[in-house]
Amino acid sequence: MTKTIGVVTPGGDAPGMNAAIRAVTRIAHAKGFQVVGFERGWEGLLTNSCKKLTPRSVGGIIQLGGTILHTIRCPGFEEEEAVEKGAETLSINDVDGLVVIGGDGSFKGALDLSRESDAFMIGIPATIDNDVYGTDETIGFDTAVNTAVGAIDKIRDTAISHERIFIVEVMGRKRGFLALEVGVCVGAEVVLIPERPMSLADMVKTMEENAKKGKRMGIIVAAEGWGNTHELAQEMQQKTESEVRLSILGYAQRGGSPTTRSRLLASLFAEKAVDLICQGQGNMAVGLRNGAIVGYELEKAARDWKPIDLRLLDLADTLAT
Ligand code: F6P
């Protein structure tokens, strides 16, 4: 009997997920598997909503943002009844290996499923937040960085003209990976991330010192997990002579055509994911470490805390003088 690989994209979407679906499908077919895609994340496993993916049906999607399998947040998937239903769906479809493309929340769902299912669970990290332990980069991160940088470059133009201070909030959930990389790449005067608090007094001091040097505008890149940027904008306004504006970049960061880097990562991760299934290895995640594609425990990817390189924050400060 032909062996079957399932693919699912639960949680928030990320640019490059389609490139990963395409690559898993084509690599799996090349190795003699058939592939089914479960629709709307975990809900597809609860309702047995799935479709056959063939090398042809995944044509023309490598450049598309989002996920052709669709996704919805599915809280409660960890409950016993839901997990049993999910495992039953995998068994009905004779799924030997399930490739879960998503973030740590999706990986927790895969681990829950593995309690009830014999299918090999493989996690491919895909989130714009880049907050998955064990991989230097997640699919979609590079695209989101580029999207945010493009938007902030435009904001800088108007900030310079009006000599205003702009607080620009970027996504990232509870972590500062996106804000930090974006901050360095736009030359932000201040970068605010949850991992290293900064007082309002210090922000104001930076802006005042810049003004004395003749730089009367400023870009403050703030991670959404840092805190309330509406309040920050009001407080900054009271403490400085300059006009302060807030711009929340929002969901545009999650969309758009994936960069070459996100596409390449998706293709390499997919290759490793199918390899692991072929080797009969389950409960594994794939990742990028120092340029190499690796496999490691899904449990760690789902639960461990990824360290952030705070030297980048110091570099951002130095570069923004
Ligand atoms: O995890 C990706 C992400 O875009 C986060 O950056 C953000 O906090 C969250 O998802 C938004 O979630 P939702 O799509 O449920 O609004």
Tens digits of residue pLDDT in 179-220: 999 999 999 999 999 999 999 999 999 999 999 999 999 999
Report the pLDDT value the prediction gives residue 150, as an integer from 0 to 100: 98
Q: Which atom of ligand 1 lies at the shortest distance from residue 251's CA?
A: 4
Distance between Cα 96 and ligand 1 center (Å): 30
Active site (catalytic) residues: 129
Residue 256: partners with Cβ closer than 8 Å, 6 or more residues away:
15, 65, 143, 147
For residue 25, what are its two tokens?
A: 């499908």
Output the CA–CA distances (angstroms, integers) from residue 286 to 88, 133, 181, 224, in the order listed. 25, 11, 22, 27
Report the pLDDT value the prediction gives residue 185, as an integer from 0 to 100: 98
Report the pLDDT value the prediction gives residue 78, as an integer from 0 to 100: 86
- Indicate if ligand 1 lies below 6 Å from the C-beta of 102: no
- Indicate if ligand 1 lies below 6 Å from the C-beta of 128: yes
d(CA 167, CA 81): 45
Distance between Cα 127 and ligand 1 center (Å): 9
Report the pLDDT value the prediction gives residue 60, as an integer from 0 to 100: 98
The DSSP result for 41-63, as a single string, is THHHHHHT-EEEE-TTTTTT-TT
Residues of the chain with pLDDT under 70: none
Residue 127: partners with Cβ closer than 8 Å, 6 or more residues away:
11, 12, 14, 102, 103, 138, 139, 140, 141
Report the pLDDT value the prediction gives residue 22, as an integer from 0 to 100: 99
∠ CA(270), CA(272), CA(276), 5° rounding? 115
Nearest-CA residue for ligand 1 atom 13 is 12
Q: Which atom of ligand 1 lies at the shortest distance from residue 14's CA?
A: 2
Report the pLDDT value the prediction gives residue 143, as an integer from 0 to 100: 98
- Indicate if ligand 1 lies below 6 Å from the C-beta of 129: yes
Distance between Cα 253 and ligand 1 center (Å): 10
Distance between Cα 209 and ligand 1 center (Å): 35
Distance between Cα 248 and ligand 1 center (Å): 13
Q: What is the pLDDT of residues 245-262, one digit of tens each?
A: 999 999 999 999 999 999
CB atoms within 10 A of CB 310: 13
Report the pLDDT value the prediction gives residue 74, as an integer from 0 to 100: 87
For residue 283, what are its two tokens?
A: 């409960």
Mutation to probe ligand 1, out of 107, 129, 226 (largest number of atoms < 8 A from CB): 129
pTM, whole model, 2 decimals? 0.98
Partners of 6 in beta bridges: 36, 98
Residue 173: partners with Cβ closer than 8 Å, 6 or more residues away:
129, 131, 224, 225
Give the closest residue to 172 by CA, choosing from 159, 185, 181, 163: 181
Mutation to probe ligand 1, out of 108, 128, 173 (largest number of atoms < 8 A from CB): 173
Report the pLDDT value the prediction gives residue 75, as an integer from 0 to 100: 84
Output the CA–CA distances (angstroms, integers) from residue 123 to 9, 101, 129, 160, 188, in the order listed. 10, 6, 16, 44, 34
